[in-house]
Structure 1
């Protein structure tokens, strides 16, 4: 029987080696057989047991997470934030979950729903940076003094005059004394930042129509969710947050960006497109990266023998031949 779910593979991995009594008790509490359609439901009901079980498995890679995380974030604090999301990720493959969490750790972001999220796409775990994660990396660049991201509602007082000098070109006075209903729906999202030099960036303003155009043109995750009928992408479930995040992302065109922030943009785009989220891949390692992506795809594939017959074999890349000192002397005498 193939092991196609995170819970099944972790159970198999942990039963092959001596495990703490608590882990063994958790394994014993989980039903030995669950139909694929029932797995997610049963996992939610057994949330604590499943979360502890998977967390036990992730702690085996504690050294990798410690190396990836910046010094100011403790690995235990990182994994404790991960635990809350684990019951919803039990259908993900172990390799994709570990890769998504390592990518999140390399950027020094905690997957707490505010800075970043680990989302399930089919059987693949995907790292998704949120608006606050982008803000965090902007501050780390050392060039940005403050970042402002907001939503203008129908009843708010605001003005936007791009030709006027900053800061008179844009003002927003939210009617916080009103209820959410009285404030009305959001009509604009905006983002800007003040630099440490005292200069202010251009104000990015996006209407709902602008956000929908960005979603329709650039979000592969939205298109996949729409075509499948699941309607579970962040554009479906958290439109306003994605709207504000889109305004924030557009700041990269008008604000000096650090290499880390550029890498975050690329990882975000790769995850949305359903591609491997490879972080820090120098040009000299491109061939190795390509081989790694192919190997990763094979490892994530089904373990059924029928699938195995259709997989092409990996071929070793030919390396340039190195000439010895003796060969070079002989060649120079000719």
Structure 2
């Protein structure tokens, strides 16, 4: 029997009857009749089989990933990249792992460490877009011809004169003939874009001090890691990449951005703040996450409000627009008469 809806597939996956239209192979044959949560728990204790067992669980939702991914990304390639990251994610809750991966898929980014990363914070899996992911979405807007992001080392030749006309206002000549040690430490990060129209955007230049101020003021993940003593946020483990990513993020203020890019910024901020990342989720899936997977209470309330606003009974119980608008029209006429 074909399971046509997400609700049917989840219901089948959490009962003794396996989903007949799921992609099942290899270890999945041994997992028939097992709930996703049981698969997830057993994977944590099986050493070398961790990634394969977790992938079996995810393959039950293969249709959902296919539906979420853009046409140019194959679901098998996406899940192949996911598998490499799974050993570090098996202690995450199943709901958060699935949500993080679906969010990553909806943006058409592969969690390969360059475009995006799925990071574990406690028992929560978090989708984190990386610098190359931002560049990818800028190109997709159709208004950006090329994006340049770079790091200036102490021994490099560079000039920044904002009052000069582009492209003379900024130049960077890396000292590529020198060793990394001789080039010295990174002193600046920069980013700019050439538009399809031929114009060039403003150059975003961030010093190390600028990056540290952004980190301290805006990164909740950094503060949580610092307070806990774990020091495992990306700002702790890969400061230079976060420095470059910050320069790219600031481009959205000076470069035409698509709705998809704005959504990516919001999802990135939500993940950093420890909030659930739900991006363009189908109404049915959001309902299931709230009712079946027990996501955070505040997210459940938001989903309920969204569903209530679309409930036909709710619409019928509200005052009719005609009844509300009559006094307003009378008032406006009265005001016009008074002015005359």
**Is the TM-score greater than 0.5?**
yes
Distance across 1 between alignment mates of 2:129 and 2:153: 25
Query: What is the aligned partner in structure 2 of residue 227 from structure 1?
Result: 227
Distance across 2 between alignment mates of 1:108 and 1:76: 13
1:206-221 matched pairs, under 5 angstroms:
206-221=206-221
CA offset digits 1:103-130 (Å, max 9, x no partner): 0000000000000000001101000000
Shift of 1:21: 5.9
Is structure 2 residue 319 aligned with structure 1 residue 319?
no
Query: What is the aligned partner in structure 1 of residue 21 from structure 2?
Result: none
CA offset digits 1:238-261 (Å, max 9, x no partner): 000000000000000000100000
* Contact in 1 for aligned 2:148/2:193 (Cα 8 Å): yes
* Contact in 2 for aligned 1:194/1:200 (Cα 8 Å): yes
Instruction: Flag the 1:281–1:73 CA change in 2: closer, same or farther, 3 A.
Output: closer
Q: 2:27 aligns with which of 22, 25, 32?
A: 22
Distance across 2 between alignment mates of 1:191 and 1:112: 22
Query: What is the aligned partner in structure 2 of residue 151 from structure 1?
Result: 151
Query: What is the aligned partner in structure 2 of residue 331 from structure 1?
Result: none
Q: Please give the secondary structure, in 2, of the residue aligned with 1:212.
A: helix
Distance across 2 between alignment mates of 1:156 and 1:254: 26
Instruction: Flag the 1:100–1:59 CA change in 2: closer, same or farther, 3 A.
Output: same
* Contact in 1 for aligned 2:153/2:186 (Cα 8 Å): yes
How many residues in Structure 1 have an aligned counterpart in Structure 2?
A: 282
Query: What is the aligned partner in structure 1 of residue 267 from structure 2?
Result: 267
Distance across 2 between alignment mates of 1:188 and 1:160: 11
Q: Please give the secondary structure, in 2, of the residue aligned with 1:151.
A: strand
Q: Please give the secondary structure, in 1, of the residue aligned with 2:128.
A: strand
* Contact in 2 for aligned 1:95/1:300 (Cα 8 Å): no
Q: Please give the secondary structure, in 1, of the residue aligned with 2:91.
A: coil
CA offset digits 1:189-222 (Å, max 9, x no partner): 0000000100000000000000000000000000
Shift of 1:178: 1.1
Distance across 1 between alignment mates of 2:17 and 2:156: 61
Shift of 1:58: 0.5
* Contact in 1 for aligned 2:27/2:56 (Cα 8 Å): no
Query: What is the aligned partner in structure 2 of residue 171 from structure 1?
Result: 171
Query: What is the aligned partner in structure 2 of residue 123 from structure 1?
Result: 123
Query: What is the aligned partner in structure 1 of residue 252 from structure 2?
Result: 252
Instruction: Flag the 1:164–1:87 CA change in 2: closer, same or farther, 3 A.
Output: same
Distance across 2 between alignment mates of 1:200 and 1:75: 36
Q: Please give the secondary structure, in 1, of the residue aligned with 2:250.
A: helix
Q: Please give the secondary structure, in 2, of the residue aligned with 1:132.
A: helix
Aligned-CA RMSD value: 3.1
